Structure 1
Amino acid sequence: MHPRDLVGMVAAQLGLSSARVSIQVRRLVADGYLQKQGTTRPIYTLGRNRRFQQRYPRAGLAEDILWSGQLSPLLRDVPRNVLDIAHHGATEMINNAIEHSEAMHVEVRMDLRDGRLSLAIADDGIGIFRKVARALELPDERLALLELSKGKFTTDPKNHSGEGVFFTSRMFDRFRIASGGLVFSHDEEQDEDVLFDVDDMSRKGTVVFMEISTASTRTTKQVFDEYSSGPDEYTFAKTVVPVRLAQVGDENLISRSQAKRLMQRVDRFRHVMLDFSGINAIGQAFADEIFRVFAQAHPEVELVPVHAVPEVQQMIRRAEVARDRDGGQRPLL
């Protein structure tokens, strides 16, 4: 940085007028990204806020070097627990873009302002939902979010555990993925996952947005512990499955096929919370396939329905009673 000749240096490097650069510098001072001392020959230093934006060729990019060389020095005043979360999220999502996106470029943005830290990782590749849908031969890209929300899914199991998106989404206050006209959003305060469509279906690639308060007391250890199997065996054994992500469009959840779609790969976990938020009713066959057929076939998996309205609870209980009565050998018609 050039604290004594900032305006002149930037103007010379970018080929802009000093007057134009001065306007931008005054704006950065007003927004807290720069501090100004003196008037005649002012000295500029970094302000309390930080901002970073850079576009890189994907080939040859290394997330650890980018973090240690570019991002970490700008966050030296951030509390350690928040810094660890930022480190985890940035490197995981940059690595995903490097190894999975098939992109030409990766853009990294960081903004630390007024007690909130946000990170955005964007690429111009195939798109995360499209890639997952193709790998699993899903009929609709919306269903890719269901698999990502469960965790333990990767298109490269030899080199990846498939846990990056799941844990990162739960470390930050807000986490969002936008790709191909679809947006997945996880909000820690509202404790829910939301999937919605946007008008821009032509946008190429994927954008991951993460935000956390610098006053947050959350730690990476707390998040890992919450979904681990216990203090003596740190395996990813617990997950939360948003049931409404099994819906495509306005369809109702009534069929066994929909239930099988919902429960795909769930047998990899020991404790599964099925979140029925936003679901007002389910069909008998849908409930029976989950709480009788699947439960009998996988007694080692604990299924815990949460946020179910009374009508949904009744259908779940009906399937559980049938399971207890006949052992799940005869499908209910």
Structure 2
Amino acid sequence: MRKPRKKSIEIRNFILDNIANHPRDITLLTSNQFNISRPAVLRHIQKLIDEGAIVAHGKTRDRRYELKLLVDEAFTFSLSTDVEEDKVWRHLVRPMLKGIPGNVMSICEYGMSEMINNVIDHSEGTEAEIHVEQAAASVAFLVIDNGIGIFKKIQRDLHLGEPRQAILELSKGKLTTDPNRHTGEGIFFASRMFDSFVVYSEGLFFSPRDTGVDRLPDSGSEEGGTTVSMGISTLSSRTLQEVFDLYTSDNFEYTFSKTDVPVALATFGDENLVSRSQARRLLARFHEFKEVSLDFSDVATIGQAFSDEIFRVFSRNNPDIKITAVNTNEQIERMIRRVKSRPQ
């Protein structure tokens, strides 16, 4: 049998990698991406159908495509005192996964081991449920427990004002309710390794990207417990070390010293970011890092007091901590420049 040419492999990988988000217009998307005709794209799609990688639904004008699930399994286990995350991974999850590249498998192992360990050590639940889905170009997991709920537990143990504040703290990294046994790095790094990562509990969710929330099952999440959803393309070139290096010092200390924080998480409801108290809430635990990148995506405006507290007062009192602002609009940039220009 003749091997497919490099260009054909590239086209088919593109289809597999994008079909989930473009089930109805994948033909047009691929045609535009590679400057090839629609019939040429359809031949590649038919080949993938014949190979059992994707399935088609509907007639010509209403046709949509989706990845065919190669694995669709779920199991429940008791959170007894002798359950261990590495054994759950090695004996129950890993054997389900087939043909996954080493770099992606390492990410899956890291993410699943960390999430299962969190359930065992922190959930205060009695049982957990794991769902595993693998398609031709993706793998996804759900880890569900019936415990107290992650945001409620963080709020309780760290004496925070409300559960939403736990989401902000979780996004920064190095957050743990048991510092003697845990570093608080698992969720932070896993959320940056996977293409989609969502933690959902009692109507609240944390995600470094607002994707995948509509895929979460009900599973009693409104009543308690926690659901973690993780997904990654099996075509991804990302590695564990690559993600670790993004948040590690450049001075051979190899410590988790950099973080990025979505500033929008500092808002509750429809409030604007105008006060010093809001800024101090955002700045909490920044002293644990050497570099902090503030992501102003979805933030339309900030007030003078909020900006001054971060970019003048905090920066003056903590000169060894580098704070940068990204994804800012013109108003936010002006306000930051204004407070920085004031005498220290």
2:344 matches 1:316: no
Q: Quick one: structure 1 residues 48 and 280, their matched pair in 2 at CA, closer, same or farther if it must change by over 3 Å?
A: closer
Unpaired segments of 5 or more residues in structure 2? 1-49, 54-67
Aligned equivalents of 1:174, 1:231: Cα separation in 2: 31
Runs (4 or more) in structure 1 with deviation over 3 Å come to 30-33, 198-202
1:182-224, Cα deviation, whole Å (9 max, x unpaired): 122233xx8x999xxx998733200000000000000000000
Task: Give the number of equivalent residue pairs.
Answer: 276
Match of 1:169 among 191, 200, 211: 191
Q: What secondary structure, in the 3-state scheme, does the structure 1 residue paired with 2:324 have?
A: strand
1:93-113, Cα deviation, whole Å (9 max, x unpaired): 000000000001111111111
Aligned equivalents of 2:260, 2:86: Cα separation in 1: 30
Q: Quick one: structure 1 residues 256 and 310, their matched pair in 2 at CA, closer, same or farther if it must change by over 3 Å?
A: same
Counting only pairs closer than 5 Å after superposition, residues 123-162 of structure 1 correspond to structure 2 as 123-162=145-184
After TM superposition, the score normalised by the length of structure 2 is 0.76
Q: Sequence identity, in percent?
A: 46
Aligned equivalents of 1:222, 1:258: Cα separation in 2: 33
CA RMSD, aligned part only? 2.4
Aligned equivalents of 1:146, 1:232: Cα separation in 2: 29
Q: What secondary structure, in the 3-state scheme, does the structure 2 residue paired with 1:299 have?
A: coil
| CA displacement at 1:74 relative to structure 2 | 2.1
Aligned equivalents of 1:193, 1:215: Cα separation in 2: 19
Counting only pairs closer than 5 Å after superposition, residues 1-333 of structure 1 correspond to structure 2 as 49-59=70-80, 60-187=82-209, 202-230=222-250, 232-322=252-342, 325=343, 327=344
Q: Is the 8 A contact 1:103 1:124 kept in 2?
A: yes
Unpaired segments of 5 or more residues in structure 1? 1-29, 34-46, 328-333
After TM superposition, the score normalised by the length of structure 1 is 0.78
Aligned equivalents of 1:115, 1:201: Cα separation in 2: 29
CA radius of gyration, larger in: 1
Q: What secondary structure, in the 3-state scheme, does the structure 1 residue paired with 2:232 have?
A: strand
Q: Quick one: structure 1 residues 48 and 319, their matched pair in 2 at CA, closer, same or farther if it must change by over 3 Å?
A: closer
My pick for the range that moved more, 128-137 or 170-179, is 128-137
Q: What secondary structure, in the 3-state scheme, does the structure 2 residue paired with 1:175 have?
A: strand
Q: What secondary structure, in the 3-state scheme, does the structure 2 residue paired with 1:233 have?
A: coil
Q: What secondary structure, in the 3-state scheme, does the structure 2 residue paired with 1:277 have?
A: coil
Q: What secondary structure, in the 3-state scheme, does the structure 2 residue paired with 1:209 have?
A: strand
